Chain A
Amino acid sequence: MAGSRGRFGMHGGQYIPETLMNAVIELERAYDHYKKDREFQEELKNLLEDYGGRPSRLYYAKKMTEDLGGAKVYLKREDLNHTGAHKINNVLGQALLAKKMGKTRLIAETGAGQHGVAAATAAALMGMECVVYMGEEDTRRQALNVYKMRLLGARVVPVKTGTATLKDAVSEAMREWTSRMDDTHYCLGSVMGPHPFPTIVRDFQAVISKEIKEQMLEKEGRLPDAVIACVGGGSNAIGSFYHFIQNKEVRLIGCEAAGRGIGTLETAATINTGRPGIFHGMKSYFCQDQFGQIAPVYSISAGLDYPGVGPEHAWLHDIGRAEYVPITDDEAVDAFEYLSRTEGIIPAIESSHAVAWAMKEVPKMRKDQIAVITISGRGDKDCAAIARYRGEDIKDE
């Protein structure tokens, strides 16, 4: 495989049309330059702190800990970031990089709308044009975020092809990038796609685990026993795991969206139900049929409703360093309600998948152990949908 770049074991690579190759090569060169550039790093740090609100808090969830009766539970509060999710970490980095590269326009895909809102926010801040591709089905599920993106000055393009969800939004953003790359940066929202995106996005999200480590050492004087995060493409999870990968004693747990269950076709649990494939620029695990047709996956969570997973997660799974577990819609909705009632924190339905695992497994852990759950985003955007899930129709959605 001479020349093939950006591999995580057998996964990753650059499976994209020739038309895009110089664009990703240009991006890789720029990134390699700026990641070592002190001025760039300083500028990004200031943005993350003064604009993004970093560092995010590591909160000891006392009531939840007492209620579950097992390990001590800490919550990494990415939901408190500006725009309400971890997505801003990546977007500020990429938008700044794009600006240094002379790009004037950002395009992005979005599932739940969190990445779209973050991209629209960064574009507004930096005076860039922004177009967000969003599955039509998701524009209905996440109407509030569509309005926010428009309010921020972005144009939202509803994607009607395929299942009209995140996968189709990614396909359409890639198509658009193929037609216009001179002035346009594709601000990919997760640790997926062709190299160098999985590496760039991971580096920008790794601030999460860097902070968890520092905060945990400060509060407890030791590392946690488990770090838990939800996985769609996997950006908040890789961000939460990254600085712990070398600390083998720390369990890394990625919670996949099982939808109505991994025994059904209505699931998006890629590592649990998929097999190796090549799609959206990368080799990784994908939900697909026996002839390699990508499966129309399903999850209640628009942000996890994706048939693939980032290549670094595929590799962490292959080498047994991280565990990937399925969480159903029902479990996630229970967790959404549980955290709201128990701690007064309404988590995103995506993050609720991680909370759900903790509800099942933390009671089995010892009291002298510590579990950190990344709350990747806030749940305001999900309230109307969860109310509907419970059979309640609230009008003001």
Chain B
Amino acid sequence: MSRTAEAFHNKKAFIPFITCGDPNLETTGKIVREMEKSGADLIELGIPFSDPTAEGPVIQGANIRALAGGVTTEKIFAFVRELRQDVKIPLVFMTYANVVYSYGTEKFAASCAEVGIDGLILPDVPFEEKEEFAGVCSQYGLDFISLIAPTSRDRIAMIAKEAKGFLYVVSSLGVTGMRSEITTDIGSIIQLIKENTDLPCAVGFGISTPRQAAEMAQWADGVIVGSAIVKLAGQYGKEAAGPVGEYVKSMKDAIR
């Protein structure tokens, strides 16, 4: 079992997301450590991109703040190396294809493995384009995470069969961001996935409250939360670690 899949072992996993460098890496470091202490099972670290086409306004804002603060892919690798001195839970990068491609896909994967990253999520790389990234990732022992959307339908089997680590189930149409309700029939999507793979399924997009998390955890093996946390980071700036930690604890408690 890969390290990312292990995060789901015998429990429902809570997976928070944070944009690296919003507003600086020192703050991100404090937030990540607080997340781990508060019960996070795996953390998604966002490498900011200038034009994040899958993100709603909240995470777009974090990307802008982080880039304005001067963060770069290089600095984030150094940051993760430092995190790994004490942070033990699995870490995956969430970014856009161009950040990886422009760095050099192989060099990027090698650096990930070297600093202790366990997987990679690229929301603008669907099944049809994954080989140029997934191939290199598996060479360096990284899980290239596949996404399944409410519109995937007859594509689910094909995607699930080649998936690695866990399946990222997108809860709703549209971009990332908090939603008052999730109307997609997540249960039947997850059932279809499970017919094709033994890998765990984590649901993300739009989840912000403990009630929503508990509801998703009825069917899913894990719950991913991004915008609600990034919103706290935006609101509290350099003092965000405390409030984010409390929030993560409340979400983890809701799915225990």
Q: Assess the A292–B53 pair: CB atoms within 8 A.
A: no
Q: Assess the B175–A13 pair: CB atoms within 8 A.
A: no
With an 8 A cutoff between CB atoms, is A277 at the interface? Answer: yes
With an 8 A cutoff between CB atoms, is A16 at the interface? Answer: yes
> What is the distance, in angstroms, from A306's C-beta to the closest C-beta of chain B?
12
User: Which residues of A288-318 are within 8 A (CB) of B?
Assistant: 288, 290-294
Out of A18, A292, A294, name the residue touching B147 (CB < 8 Å).
A18
Q: Assess the B175–A292 pair: CB atoms within 8 A.
A: no
Q: Assess the A4–B129 pair: CB atoms within 8 A.
A: yes
Chain B residues contacting A14 (CB-CB under 8 Å) are: 126, 128-129
Chain A residues contacting B146 (CB-CB under 8 Å) are: 18
Q: Assess the A162–B124 pair: CB atoms within 8 A.
A: no
- Known contacts A2-B131, A178-B174; A21/B125 CB under 8 A: no
Q: How far is the CA of A181 from the CA of B155 in the complex (A)?
A: 17
Q: Assess the A17–B50 pair: CB atoms within 8 A.
A: no
Chain A residues contacting B153 (CB-CB under 8 Å) are: 22
With an 8 A cutoff between CB atoms, is B236 at the interface? Answer: no
Q: How far is the CA of A288 from the CA of B147 in the complex (A)?
A: 27
User: Which residues of B30-55 are within 8 A (CB) of A?
Assistant: 49-51, 53-54
Q: Assess the B98–A294 pair: CB atoms within 8 A.
A: yes
Chain A residues contacting B174 (CB-CB under 8 Å) are: 19, 175, 178-180
With an 8 A cutoff between CB atoms, is B242 at the interface? Answer: no
Q: Assess the A292–B103 pair: CB atoms within 8 A.
A: yes
Q: Mask for B97-131, Cβ within 8 A of A = 1, else 0?
A: 11111110000000000000000000111111101
Q: Assess the A292–B151 pair: CB atoms within 8 A.
A: no
Pick the most buried of A20, A175, A181: most chain B CB atoms within 10 A of its CB.
A175
Q: How far is the CA of A93 from the CA of B155 in the complex (A)?
A: 29
Interface size class of A (residues with CB under 8 A): 35 or more
Q: Assess the B126–A18 pair: CB atoms within 8 A.
A: yes
Chain A residues contacting B159 (CB-CB under 8 Å) are: 18
Q: How far is the CA of A2 from the CA of B98 in the complex (A)?
A: 20
With an 8 A cutoff between CB atoms, is B220 at the interface? Answer: no
Q: Assess the B148–A162 pair: CB atoms within 8 A.
A: no
With an 8 A cutoff between CB atoms, is B136 at the interface? Answer: no
Residues of B contacting A: mostly: mixed
Q: Assess the B128–A171 pair: CB atoms within 8 A.
A: no
> What is the distance, in angstroms, from B162's C-beta to the closest C-beta of chain A?
11
Q: Assess the A291–B72 pair: CB atoms within 8 A.
A: yes
Q: How far is the CA of A1 from the CA of B51 in the complex (A)?
A: 25
Q: Assess the B98–A288 pair: CB atoms within 8 A.
A: yes
With an 8 A cutoff between CB atoms, is A23 at the interface? Answer: yes
Q: Assess the A15–B124 pair: CB atoms within 8 A.
A: yes
- Known contacts A278-B97, A292-B101; A13/B53 CB under 8 A: no
- Known contacts A171-B51, A179-B175, A294-B51; A17/B123 CB under 8 A: yes
Out of B67, B126, B150, B175, name the residue touching A293 (CB < 8 Å).
B67
- Known contacts A167-B51, A175-B53; A278/B101 CB under 8 A: yes
Q: Can you name 23 A-B residue pairings with CB atoms under 8 Å?
A: A1-B129, A3-B128, A17-B123, A17-B126, A18-B123, A18-B149, A18-B152, A18-B170, A19-B150, A21-B127, A22-B152, A161-B60, A162-B50, A175-B56, A178-B173, A278-B96, A278-B101, A279-B97, A291-B72, A292-B49, A292-B98, A292-B99, A293-B99
Residues of B within 8 A of A (CB): 49-51, 53-54, 56, 60, 67, 72-74, 96-103, 123-129, 131-132, 146-153, 155, 159, 170, 173-175
